[in-house]
Structure 1
Amino acid sequence: MASANSPASTHLTVLQGQFRVSAGPKVELSTVLGSCVATCLYDPVIELGGMNHFLLSEPPATHARGEVDVHYGVYLMEMLINEMLAYGARKERLRAHLYGGANIRAGMQRIGTANAEFARGFLVRERIELMREDLGGTCARRVDFRPASGLVRCRTVAEAPEVAVQPVVRREPRGEVELF
């Protein structure tokens, strides 16, 4: 709870295909993830951070060359880093946290695993230090990130119970319907 002398925190939601950057000491970036991955980057020297939220790692080979689709990690990672650099961050000082990459439904394609592997590999290739990760599993996560301090809170959302599909009950028509 904010005191009478301090302004309340600003909560910004980062949706699929988005990224946000801030140095505001009262700003908190939040997202909810299933198979998606969120990267939280932080430059401790200038107290600037940002978060992205990507749906898939890379576009398929059939994707048109040169076409930017922000739902892919390959674009959102670059966009987040470039935006931070534009505000004075230095790449060699960046620190990363990775979250998400769950495989929510058994028997489905392992998109979460592919996203997590992409994100880890990207950080290695770009020589960005990975400080913490909470990736994989079968549960969704809620992530709250304070970009100015680099602090992150990640909470696991309990697995949703399987919902049995109910048969559609068709009733006998009663009366007449006149269309006009």
Structure 2
Amino acid sequence: MVLDTVLGSCIAACIYDPDAGVGGMNHFMLPEGVDPNYPTTARYGVHAMELLISEVMKLGGQRRRFQAKVFGGGHVLRIRESLDGVPQRNIEFVRRFMNTEQIPVVSEDLGGYRARRVLFHPHSGKAFLKRLGQSEAELTAQEEMVYLISLKKQKLEGDITLF
């Protein structure tokens, strides 16, 4: 099984327990909710991380053995202040979260100006990264912008798929 996602300013965290041979990946859009009435939607960092950790533990992973690989937070609009500072806020969030939760980050590819495609093998913990070309990055940025705007207009619970 391979988990696959494309990232612009979003973050994907891959968590893996090497002894149990189990892992998972999330993909969150924002570090925190824009609506305090919906703080637990999986599109937001803390909830997405807690869901991922819980699911990997259900599969037999032990938190004390977790390792993380984190990706994303790209300024795909090619300006540092893109998307209201979302890329940098996402990067700061995921680093702070992993530090607070004492989950070692064994690999990361964060920031920069390109979109990424990440493939994660949850049973081996291997992750593969491809930096996308400018046209793919622009499409990713446009999709993220449309989605961010819709988040500000809607009050929907998010979904997350964990393996």
Flag whether TM exceeds 0.5 (same fold): yes
Q: Deviations over 1:80-113 (max 9, x none)?
A: 0011111211101000000000111125322111
Aligned residue number for residue 29 of structure 1: 3
RMSD: 1.8
Task: Name structure 2 gaps, 5 residues minimum.
Answer: 139-163
SS in 2 for 1:54: coil
Aligned residue number for residue 12 of structure 2: 38
Letter in 1 for 2:62: R
Task: Name structure 1 gaps, 5 residues minimum.
Answer: 1-26, 163-180
Letter in 2 for 1:46: A
Q: When the two structures are aligned, how many residues end up with a matched partner?
A: 135
Residue 64 of structure 1: how far off its partner (Å): 1.6
TM-score, scaled relative to structure 2: 0.78
Residue 68 of structure 1: how far off its partner (Å): 2.1
Matched ranges for 1:7-26 at <5 A: none
Matched ranges for 1:19-168 at <5 A: 27-60=1-34, 62-64=35-37, 67-105=39-77, 106=79, 107-108=81-82, 109-160=84-135
Max Rg structure? 1
SS in 1 for 2:6: strand
Aligned residue number for residue 141 of structure 2: none
Residue 71 of structure 1: how far off its partner (Å): 0.8
Higher helix share: 2
Letter in 2 for 1:29: L
TM-score, scaled relative to structure 1: 0.71
Letter in 1 for 2:106: M
What CA distance in whole angstroms lies between the structure 1 residues aligned with 2:10 and 2:133?
Answer: 17
Higher strand share: 1
What CA distance in whole angstroms lies between the structure 2 residues aligned with 1:114 and 1:153?
Answer: 24
